[in-house]
Chain A
């Protein structure tokens, strides 16, 4: 019997005249992969923003492992074990792949300015440790050979893989992936889906926004269907993807 680690309870959020989230409630179960689907503008990214503290909910509560996290700063939430990727990547374009991952590494060794100046050898050792850790993560997502490359010179598929390496670096237990496969070519898409599938089989907890139904079918244990800020359905892939009413909403709104 799976237990839930994240509990979202009647969370609402308004932007001006637009009700982006309307009393959303759901749980994410530990070591399972949950897909968040819905037409454009449904509020999927806003769900991520609310969970990770980038946007404050107007109402509702969010608990992670029983601890309330709504209204807390992003920093605390990441420390507690939730990390997210961005739909628009937000990589550090002028830095190398390795440095991108190093910035995201959880341990705070060598991140103090005074220590950096006064204890150069210790900081140098921390730097090397971080380089090794980051290198290992790059290898895990299949970018081991690209560690010295500046991000702007990577292909789009490689950049998206790098985003996954970065969230992994936070050491978070719950990973929120915002459209990991959108915009990818067929071969890059296969690599990404294989990676997400690997994370899933390693027993990580995933919440993934995904538009591609074939991908959803492959990686989802459970699906949440969001429409106009409301959670209108949840169930197994077979239940949701087989529901003609939901398909009408999805494709009707998408068209």
Chain B
């Protein structure tokens, strides 16, 4: 059934997005409401390049670009102390949305980009949900493997230690800034991957696919699943993407469906922060 398939594909894509957010929010511990913006950069890049260059090349460009943008955006928050990074994060998200809407010669403005070609690899084209699920699952497995390998390595231990006591890591003679920048680069790579897959799966993107609400959705997925662990970033998306389907069971007027969903995300954020900040399968934030 194609409906279940597309749920599965989207869940795998959002899991990659949640891993990206996890690296920033859970692993480095900086607040972020701009992950959707980065994913959008990846999605638009792939959408624009997909017909021009082979799919893997478009993906590669998107991933590199997103890593760069993510590092650039994270730099002020890594260098400047205080709560400025909250402002930076909101600012990045709102500005990105403004750019997606207003740079219409490139992004198609409010109507977005349509007819994005399906990904093809080695002469094999993933133009059905079944074949796409294979690709997105492979991508998610690779992302999970990367996350796991990173976290168990000596580098991962340093990053974990930074979260516990940055000063003590400095005293060990380690380069704290470089470690944080590296993590945000990896986070950007994941965001680019998620964005590219999203664009080629739906064949269509527009600014609301990457606005503040989406950033909040991804953060909610992370918080519900549980930050700082691999399992949490997968549990969260699979659970929360089922929510709209559940809401279909109650009769809600179509104009209210969006606000109701976002209301629930907000309530979940509050409830989990109050009663279970570690989420279902994570560790304390």
- A interface residue numbers (CB < 8 A to B): 52, 54, 74-75, 77-79, 83-84, 86, 90-95, 99-100, 102-106, 109-113, 115-117, 120, 123, 126-127, 130, 166, 169-170
Contacts and interface: CB of A to CB of B under 8 A. Distances in A.
A113 B185 CA distance: 10
Interface string B170-199: 111111000000110110000000000000
Given A103-B158, A110-B155, A113-B155, A94 B150 contact: no
Interface stretch (B161-169, B200-208, B273-281): B161-169
B58 to A, nearest CB: 22
B171 A113 contact: no
Given A54-B171, A111-B158, A126-B153, 4 more contacts: A92-B160, A106-B173, A117-B149, A123-B154
Contact of B174 (A91, A103, A110, A112): A103
Contact of A102 (B154, B164, B170, B175): B154
Contacts, number: 99
A74 B164 contact: no
A170 B171 CA distance: 9
Contacts of A117: 146, 149-150
Interface of B: 146, 149-150, 152-158, 160-161, 164-165, 167-175, 182-183, 185-186
B174 A94 contact: no
Contact of B160 (A95, A112, A126): A95
Nearest to A84: B171
A126 B172 contact: no
B170 A120 contact: no
Contacts of A103: 157-158, 161, 169, 172, 174
B171 A78 contact: yes
B26 to A, nearest CB: 13
A117 B142 CA distance: 10
A169 B157 CA distance: 15
Contacts of B161: 92, 95, 99-100, 103
* 8 A-B pairs closest in CB distance: A78-B173, A116-B153, A90-B168, A110-B154, A92-B164, A113-B182, A104-B172, A103-B161
Contacts of B167: 54, 86, 90
A77 B172 CA distance: 10
Contacts of B169: 103
A144 B164 CA distance: 23
A127 B170 contact: no
A83 B173 contact: yes
B157 A102 contact: yes
Nearest to B175: A75
Contact of B153 (A78, A83, A123): A123
A103 to B, nearest CB: 4
Contacts of A91: 165, 168
A145 to B, nearest CB: 21
A92 B168 contact: yes
